[in-house]
Amino acid sequence: MLKTLLYRDWLNIKKHAISLFLVLTMFPMLLHLFISIPLSNVISLDIRYLNWAAPGIWITSSGVLAFCIAILRMKKIKYDSGQLDAFLKTPLANSDIIVSVVITATILGFIQVLISIGLTILLNNEYLGFKQILFILFQVLPLINFFAILGNLIGIFVKHGIALISMILFIFLVLTLSIGSFLPLVHFPVNYVDLVSKFPLTMIINNCQIIIQNNVSSYIGPFLTYLINIFLILITIVVSHKLFRK
Amino acid sequence: MEASITLKAIGKTFRDKILLADLSFGVEKGSTFVILGENGSGKSVVLKLLVGLIEKDVGMAYIHGKDISTRGHEIRSITGYMPQSIDLDDELTILENLEIFGRLHSLSPSDAHANALNWAEQLSFENNLKRMPGDLSYGNKRLVQFARALVHDPEVIILDEPTKGLDPHSRSKVWDILDKLHQHKTILFASQNFAEAERYADRIAILHNGNIKMDGTLERLIETTHGLTRYRLSFSNPPTDDFMEKLKAFPRILRPQVKGVELEFYSRERKQFFNALELALKEDIVDIDTSICRLQDLFVGLTDGGLE
């Protein structure tokens, strides 16, 4: 069943392959052009700013993309096209629908991070070894998964376009401005830094910044994110049982 | 005969509105059963409940002996459902829509493809297979939905107003297919089309305010009218109030109603009709039409205050 739903998503992705490819390449390039380059003239760090901000581009682009894909797909299933009723009259379980959306969004987010890494390597003329890239992917994957699950859960509730845009904007602002992805946390108030540095999201960004400097990173962030993901997906399944069948 | 669908004392409320109240009926295997009802009578609710789109508050419902509450997964795999509203996947072509639904009902990709082509051919929409649902007319989308309900060869076919929005040609194709299938499948459909109900259903249930008012074969339902006849008198001018008062004074003239220059009433006794006719001859009567009570008359009587 799950395989068929994923195949359905693949059929849809194939139809929009060109526009999707444009989004996947333009999004990280725009982040680089409009955030990293201007800020590199303002912020001075021990390492080159453009290299330091690259994890911000990877995580923002992949996180926002996974979130968008999941929230749009779930909103469409639940509210826009009567697809939920169409699915519910088949032997599908609610969890199949939810997991398929999460997997599709995570895969696309993962492709986005690979493209983002490739682009930042090219644009910054930096070198990342195979092992470093593997460590980075290990850190980023649970985060992409988190945003896919979060988008899925919020998509069940978000009926109106304006609410959807607000959510996407909120996630984008959080990822770009508040967790040390483009603006170093040293510029924020100490109390805020104390609080935000305990978030797995901040830990992961920090870990990626450590990895590109060839230092050893911690794995607490990804581990905690996986735990949160399991918890969130269980909540989503419970919510679906309350809301899918009237 | 063995029961295919059984509903026992089903109750359902939604936002303080009673949708179904103590609803019970059964459908035999290999038979065609129609639920007739006005708008909002609960027809679609019954069908959605059987396929698991909504959940009942009380009561028991079984399909092929399986409780829909606990074995919904198995039931949905042997059930084909066509809703009243369009719910085709607008991001997939018509062929992909049919294939995906076949595969979601555990068909292999090749079987799903073959079945999709077969139904497209039978319903004459092969030319639309590569098109998107948004490019099709309402009637063509309904045909695709009908095919989608059958693509996995279900044992129980549940259809919500299957011929709504179809042209006469497509309608007869749908009924030809259902006629062929009804030998070995159970068909339950909701409708407001009395002619189709009379022609195709083995048993008919009349649903009103979430409850079955009457059910049985067409013959049995007609029998319950005990020879009730509908009379229609046409006048050159609308009948006068004086005439109507005199007519209403006759004890066994039922539901006299004036529609423009026509007067319609029901009666079981010819003598009552003759009395009315005697009165009418003093007015400017131009035509008389009499007909034995049919399903539509029975339905109107049952759902609109009764004929007694």
Angle between helices B138-150 and B168-181 (to 10 degrees): 10
Question: What token pair was written down for A176?
Answer: 């770009």
Q: Is A159 inside a domain boundary?
A: yes
* Span A219-243, average pLDDT: 92
Spell out which residues of chain A touch residue B88, defining contact as CB-CB under 8 Å. 86
Q: What is the pLDDT of residue B286?
A: 86
pLDDT classification of B271: cutoffs 50, 70, 90: confident
Q: Is A78 inside a domain boundary?
A: yes
Its ipTM equals 0.85
| pLDDT of A176 higher than 80 | yes
Spell out which residues of chain B touch residue A83, defining contact as CB-CB under 8 Å. 87, 89
Instruction: Tell me the residue ranges of DSSP E strands in chain B.
Output: 3-14, 17-28, 32-37, 58-63, 66-67, 79-82, 156-160, 186-191, 203-208, 211-216, 229-235, 254-259, 262-267, 285-292
Q: Is A239 inside a domain boundary?
A: yes
Yes or no: say if B12 and B57 are a contact pair by the CB < 8 Å rule.
yes
Yes or no: say if B126 and B95 are a contact pair by the CB < 8 Å rule.
no
Cβ separation B89–A83 shorter than 8 A: yes
Does any CB of chain B come closer than 8 Å to the CB of residue A10? no
pLDDT classification of B306: cutoffs 50, 70, 90: low
Q: What is the mean pLDDT of chain A?
A: 91
Class of residue A22 by CB neighbours under 10 A (exposed 0-12, middle 13-18, buried 19+) = exposed
- What is the Cα gyration radius of chain B? 23
Instruction: Give the separation between CA B198 and CA B217, rounded to whole angstroms.
Output: 9
Using one digit for the tens of pLDDT, what is the confidence trace for B112-127? 999 999 999 999 999 9
pLDDT classification of B229: cutoffs 50, 70, 90: confident
Cα of A6 vs its chain's centroid, Å? 19
Q: What is the pLDDT of residue B73?
A: 86
pLDDT classification of B270: cutoffs 50, 70, 90: confident
Helices vs. strands in chain A: H and E counts, helices first: 11, 0
Cβ separation A92–B52 shorter than 8 A: no
- The shortest C-alpha distance from B163 to chain A (Å) reads 19
Bridge partners for B81 per DSSP? B158
Q: Which of A73, A77, A89 to mutate to test the interface with B (most CBs of B within 10 A)?
A: A89
Nearest-CA residue of chain A relative to B88?
Answer: A83
Spell out which residues of chain B touch residue A12, defining contact as CB-CB under 8 Å. 91-92
Question: What token pair was written down for A182?
Answer: 């483009």
| pLDDT of A238 higher than 90 | yes
Does any CB of chain B come closer than 8 Å to the CB of residue A43? no
Q: Is A201 inside a domain boundary?
A: yes
Q: What is the pLDDT of residue B307?
A: 57
User: Could you give all domains of chain B from N- to C-terminal order, each with its CATH number?
Assistant: 3-223 (3.40.50.300), 229-292 (3.30.70.2470)
Cβ separation A90–B105 shorter than 8 A: yes
How many domains does chain A fold into?
A: 1
Domain coverage including residue A172: 8-243
* Span B256-264, average pLDDT: 83
Q: Is A120 inside a domain boundary?
A: yes
Spell out which residues of chain B touch residue A1, defining contact as CB-CB under 8 Å. 104
Cβ separation B88–A86 shorter than 8 A: yes
Whole-model pTM? 0.84
- The shortest C-alpha distance from A241 to chain B (Å) reads 11
CB within 8 Å of chain A, chain B residues 32-91: 51-55, 73-74, 76-77, 79, 81, 83, 85-91
Number of residues that make up chain A? 246
Q: Is A1 inside a domain boundary?
A: no
Q: Is A3 inside a domain boundary?
A: no
Nearest-CA residue of chain A relative to B112?
Answer: A4
Q: What is the mean pLDDT of chain B?
A: 86
- DSSP class of residue B240 equals P
Most confident of B175-184, B261-270, B297-306: B175-184
Q: Is A97 inside a domain boundary?
A: yes
Yes or no: say if B276 and B288 are a contact pair by the CB < 8 Å rule.
no
Cβ separation B52–A90 shorter than 8 A: no
pLDDT classification of B63: cutoffs 50, 70, 90: very high
